[in-house]
């Protein structure tokens, strides 16, 4: 397996954009939605991150793209903005190697931690992060209920309870 950096001149940006679309569709499915992003829109998003100077890496196995990641950073933190491994390449250490690359970049940039935004229904990613030693809850995101939203359950964080629709996955 090879991990390559994707930059402005990399001819494989379109392949990463295709994976980005699958990633966006997966995230949308966690909220019972569909994302109809085009390849052109995927390329625009890749360009956005590259223009900001955010690192993008893609994993290749036998000349086939298997996954990618995008890191986003500011003065305070580095975030794992995107992290995706194609389904047929999962459980083959590709995700772990990509994640190790992300941690290397974090260290090279002089940061201490890699922060991860994860949808509460994304059990697969939560389990993956726990296997990587990530088990500290840092923040929660709180919002008002959408007008048409049917919230069916509650979730407890510390002494607080929040409405949550666990069934939307």
pLDDT tens over the chain, length 169 residues? 999 999 999 999 999 999 999 999 888 887 777 878 899 999 999 999 999 999 999 999 999 999 999 999 988 899 999 999 999 999 999 999 999 999 999 999 999 999 998 988 888 999 999 999 999 999 888 999 988 888 888 888 889 999 887 654 4
What pLDDT was estimated at residue 166?
Answer: 65
Handedness of CA 28, 29, 35, 41 (dihedral sign): positive
What pLDDT was estimated at residue 169?
Answer: 41
What pLDDT was estimated at residue 33?
Answer: 79
What pLDDT was estimated at residue 167?
Answer: 58
3-class DSSP state of 107: helix
Determine the CATH number of domain 2-164.
Answer: 3.40.630.30
Whether 6 contacts 46, CB under 8 Å: yes
Query: Among the residues of the chain, which ranges form H helices?
Result: 13-29, 39-51, 94-108, 123-131
Alpha-carbon torsion, ordered 124, 119, 126, 37, to 10 deg:
50
What pLDDT was estimated at residue 102?
Answer: 98
Helices 39-51 and 13-29: crossing angle in degrees, nearest 10, is 100
């Amino acid at each position: 397996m090879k991990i390559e950096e994707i930059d402005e001149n990399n001819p494989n940006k379109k392949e990463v954009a295709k994976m980005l679309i699958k990633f966006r569709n997966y995230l949308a499915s966690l909220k019972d939605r569909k994302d109809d992003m085009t390849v052109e829109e995927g390329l625009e998003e890749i360009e956005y991150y590259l223009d900001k100077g955010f690192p993008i890496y893609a994993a290749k196995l036998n000349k086939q793209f298997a996954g990618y990641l995008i890191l986003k950073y500011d003065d305070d933190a580095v975030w794992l903005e995107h992290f995706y491994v194609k389904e047929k390449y999962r459980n083959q250490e590709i995700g772990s190697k990509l994640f190790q690359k992300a941690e290397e970049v974090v260290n090279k940039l002089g940061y201490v931690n890699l922060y991860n935004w994860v949808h509460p229904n994304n059990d697969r990613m939560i389990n993956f992060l726990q296997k990587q030693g990530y088990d500290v809850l840092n923040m929660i995101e709180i919002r008002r209920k959408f007008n048409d939203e049917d919230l069916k359950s509650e979730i407890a964080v510390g002494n607080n309870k929040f409405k949550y629709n666990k069934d939307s996955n």
